[in-house]
Structure 1
Amino acid sequence: MTSEEIISFVNTLDGVLILRPAPGDGTPEISWGDTFFYYAPDGVTPTASQPFATVVTKDYPDDESSRLDRPGAFRVNIAAGKDAFIRWTGHAPREPVSAEVDPSAADTVIAHPVYGSLGWLAVVNPGERTQAATRELLRTAHHLARSRHERRTEPTA
C-alpha cells in the first residue's frame, strides 16, 4: 500500500477532513508532507480533538525509532482504540511490554512507538500482510472518532 492509497481509502469514509500541511499554509514546517485525518462532517478542523489517524513521512523529534529517514519509508498511525490495541499487541495500552517489536519493521502492526500507551497502533509501509488490517483499523478509528463527535454534539436535555 502506498501512502496515496491510504489517503484515497480514508477519503471514502463519511465525514472525513483530510489535512495535508504544505509550505505557505501556516502550518509548522515539521508537518509538511504528512497527512492528518479528522472526523469533521462540517469540514472544519476540530479544535477539541486529535486526528483519528495520520500518515507521517519523516522522523519527528523523540520519534526516530521507525527510521522514516529511509527512502520511501512512511508510517500510518491509527487511534484504533483499546480493544483493537489489545487484539493486535496482546496487552493493554498502558501495560508494560516484555518483548518489544522493532518499530522500523515494515508491514507489521505494532504499538505506536510514542503513543502506544494511549492506544495508538502503527504500520510502517503497509504491504501485503497488513493492507487488510490497516483498512480495518482505519475504519475502526473512524467509527470511534465519529462516535466521540456525536457524543460531543448531541443536544442535552
Structure 2
Amino acid sequence: MDVVSITEYIESTFADIHIVTTWGETSFFYNPHRKLPRGIYFATIKEKNGPNDRASKLDRSDVFRLNIGISKWTYRTLFGQQPSRPQAGGVIDTGHDFAALDQLFPHPVYGWMSWVAVLNPSTTTFEAVKPLLSEAYVLAIEKFVKRARQAR
C-alpha cells in the first residue's frame, strides 16, 4: 500500500471527512458541514520526522506511518494497558520497534492515548487495520457530537 491508496480508501469509505495536509502529515477529520474549525481527527499519515517524533525513522526513503486513534478497550485487547505518557520529546516505553515496517504497534508518542501505528502496511496488513479505521471513525463521530453540543 502507499499513501495515495490509503488516502483514497479513507476518502471513499468514510463520509463527512475533511483532509488537511501540512508539514509531511495528512490528517483525516470527521467534520460534517465544517461545523467545527477542523473537526475530530481519527487517523493520520505521517511522511517525515517531526521535532518530537523521530522514533519511526521516517527520514528513510519512501517510509510513512499510518496512525489510528482507537478505543481504550481495543488498544488493551491488542497491547495490554496503555503506557505512561512520555516526557516531552520522548517516546512511550513498550519494547516495540517503532521503526519496523508492516507491523502494528502502539503509536510511539501517542500510545498512551490509545493510538496505534503501522509503517508501510502491506495489502494484508492494511486489510487487518481497516476495522481499526472504522472504529476510529465511529469514535470521532461520537466526540464530534459531544463537542458540537458544547459549542452551541
The two structures share one fold, judged by TM-score above 0.5: yes
How many residue pairs were aligned? 144
- Cα deviation, 1:102-150, whole Å, max 9, x if unaligned, reads 0001111111101111111111111144212221111111110001112
Can you give the 5+ residue segments of structure 1 that lack an aligned partner in the other structure? 22-30
Aligned residue in 2 for 1:83? 73
Q: Is the 8 A contact 1:108 1:129 kept in 2?
A: no
What stretches of structure 1 move > 6 A for 4+ residues in a row? Answer: none
Secondary structure of the structure 2 residue equivalent to 1:136: helix
Q: Give the Cα separation in 2 of the matches to 1:42 and 1:98.
A: 39
Q: Which has the higher strand share?
A: 2
**What do residues 63-82 of structure 1 show as CA deviations (whole Å, max 9, x unaligned)?**
11101111110001111121
Q: How is 1:111-150 mapped onto 2 (pairs within 5 angstroms)?
A: 111-150=106-145
The alignment yields a C-alpha RMSD, in angstroms, of 2.4
Distance 1:154 1:62 in 2: 33
Q: TM-score, normalised by structure 2?
A: 0.83
Query: In the alignment, which residue of structure 1 is the partner of 2:103?
Result: 108
1:9 matched to 2:9: yes
The equivalent of 2:89 in structure 1 is none
Deviates more, 1:131-140 or 1:112-121: 131-140
Indicate conservation of the 8 Å contact 1:63/1:114, yes or no. yes
Question: Counterpart of 2:28 in structure 1: which amino acid?
Answer: F
Q: Distance in 2 between matches of 1:37 and 1:122?
A: 14
Structure 2, gaps ≥5 residues long: 86-91
Give, in angstroms, the shift of residue 93 of structure 1. Answer: 4.5
